[in-house]
Structure 1
Amino acid sequence: MSAAVTRRVTVVTAVHAPSARFLPEAYRSLREQRLPDGWEWEWLVQEDGHGEEVRAHVPDDPRVSFRQGRAGGPGVARTMALARAQGPYVKVLDADDQLAPGALGRDLAALEARPDLGWATSRALDLLPDGSTAGFPGDPEEGPIERGTVLGHWSANDFRAQVHPATLCVRRELLLALGGWMALPASEDTGLLLALDAVSRGWFSAEVGLLYRKWEGQVTGRPAHTDPVEREARMTVVAARAQALAALGWRYG
């Protein structure tokens, strides 16, 4: 692998037709990132399904790679995109979200300086339909997150983590070792976050790293997402996976 490829951060985005119209804004937020000298980014846009609506919104940029595949949800789309990933780090960017200025640089700085850390997260703000933003209560202090901390908080707070899985930046080797995102209809990113928390220390940046768009068409706003039977099943398997990984005793780094 060339030196240029080893100093690349891979940004992975799952997209379907309703969210495709937001891709230009996501791209602008990525294009405006400033990386350390010698680093570059690549953007892997993976459509969850086959259609004609998404491609028109994908920017014409040699750093951007677009593919389509069988519909299976965002976790499947992101995991399929990993086949094209070349860099040592994988950053999540949902199609309807935007990176805050400096987000990629801060992720890289944290992970490059601390080889024992497997992942990094950052503060997120809700981006509301009127353009205003709103914060999340209970952000932790900036610094390392010890193994098991996220699972403990999540279990004690109605399955709500203190860090946002949509802000994850992960070492690619660790992401692959854990099998990518969970095969769930939703909460697949929370499942990954808790699996990472079970085997590795993480990092939280107190500076805003993501604008998390709230809009009428997002999957997390649909009734099925809060169906109590499905939600209980999702949370059960997410917790069981994290607990099983912790019990096995394998540790990253």
Structure 2
Amino acid sequence: MRRRIIIVTAVHAPSAPFLPEAYTSLREQELPEGWEWHWLVQEDGTTDRVAPYVPDDPRVTFRQGRPGGPGVARTLALAHADGAYVKVLDADDQLAPGALARDLAALEDHPDIGWATSRVLDLLPDGSTAGFPGDPEHGPVERRTVIDYWAAHDYRAPVHPATLFVRRELLVALGGWMALPASEDTGLLLALDAVARGWFSSEVGLLYRKWEGQATGQSAHVDTGERGVRMAVVEARARALAATGWRFPPDKA
């Protein structure tokens, strides 16, 4: 597998204007010698409104597909992920300095760790940032830590799925993102937590943009009926995976 980190971004027309800022944050990342990144930007649709914002850079590949939500777009992009690791970067977010190098070091230094996350700051419309309490301790996240916390705190995970950095082989084994209209990234996070130890970096890894057009800010996202269904299937999948006894890395014996 190539010594390459694949950055996967799902984008639709409303969030496309933020792509240049996401790109700037990616371009400023520094990686160890011998490592490189490649950015897969996948439009959730086939409009002519996203391509003008995609940077002209040989390290950036833009594709389109029929609309199905961000999980579908990311999973389609996964077919072209030819690197050892996959990093999520939403179109409207920005990586913090050093985020990629820290994620990479966590998994390279710990072969038994399958995924990594990091601290998040909300990026507010006026350009200021805001954190929030309750982050876990820096270091390993033992299996089932995330789902136990999530189930006890009104479906709020202790780590943010928008910061996910994961081994490609593990991501593929779990089938990518869940086929849900929302919470597809939480579904993946809980599935990873069910079968593999994770890592949390206490250093800020992501600026999570708050703006009126973001999907998580829409009324449909918090509709109680649909939310209950989403959470039920997310939890059922994670607990079923845990019950199989399969673990990453698999026992070689």
Same fold (TM over 0.5): yes
Equivalent AA in structure 2 for residue 232 of structure 1: G
1:12 correspondence with 2:8: yes
Structure 1 CA distance, aligned partners of 2:25 and 2:228? 35
Residue 19 of structure 2, aligned match among 18, 23, 29 = 23
1:68 correspondence with 2:39: no
Q: Which residue of 2 aligns with 1:203?
A: 199
Structure 1 CA distance, aligned partners of 2:70 and 2:133? 26
Pairwise CA RMSD of aligned residues? 0.5
Q: CA deviation at 1:83?
A: 1.1
Q: CA deviation at 1:91?
A: 0.1
Equivalent AA in structure 1 for residue 196 of structure 2: S
Residue 165 of structure 1, aligned match among 134, 139, 161 = 161
Which deviations, in whole Å up to 9, do the C-alpha atoms of 1:34-64 show, x marking residues without a partner? Answer: 0011100000000000000100000000000
1:149 correspondence with 2:152: no
Q: Which residue of 2 aligns with 1:130?
A: 126
Q: Which residue of 1 aligns with 2:34?
A: 38
Structure 2 CA distance, aligned partners of 1:35 and 1:220? 31
Which deviations, in whole Å up to 9, do the C-alpha atoms of 1:218-248 show, x marking residues without a partner? Answer: 0100000000000000000000000000000
For residues 158-237 of structure 1, the aligned pairs below 5 Å read: 158-237=154-233
Structure 2 CA distance, aligned partners of 1:214 and 1:93? 15
Residue 85 of structure 1, aligned match among 68, 81, 86 = 81
Three-state SS of the structure 1 residue aligned to 2:10 is: strand
Equivalent AA in structure 1 for residue 32 of structure 2: P
TM-score (norm 2): 0.98
Q: CA deviation at 1:137?
A: 1.8
Three-state SS of the structure 2 residue aligned to 1:84 is: coil
Three-state SS of the structure 2 residue aligned to 1:7 is: strand
Q: CA deviation at 1:18?
A: 0.1
* Aligned pairs, number: 249
Structure 1 CA distance, aligned partners of 2:32 and 2:190? 29
Which deviations, in whole Å up to 9, do the C-alpha atoms of 1:112-143 show, x marking residues without a partner? Answer: 00000000000001000000111122001100
Q: Which residue of 2 aligns with 1:239?
A: 235
Three-state SS of the structure 2 residue aligned to 1:96 is: coil
Equivalent AA in structure 2 for residue 51 of structure 1: T
Which deviations, in whole Å up to 9, do the C-alpha atoms of 1:3-55 show, x marking residues without a partner? Answer: xxx11000000000000000000000000000011100000000000000100
Residue 117 of structure 1, aligned match among 92, 113, 118 = 113
Q: CA deviation at 1:185?
A: 0.3
Percent identity, aligned pairs only, is: 78
Structure 2 CA distance, aligned partners of 1:66 and 1:11? 12
TM-score (norm 1): 0.98
Equivalent AA in structure 2 for residue 210 of structure 1: L
Q: CA deviation at 1:90?
A: 0.1
Shift >2 Å, 4+ stretches: none
Structure 1 CA distance, aligned partners of 2:164 and 2:175? 15
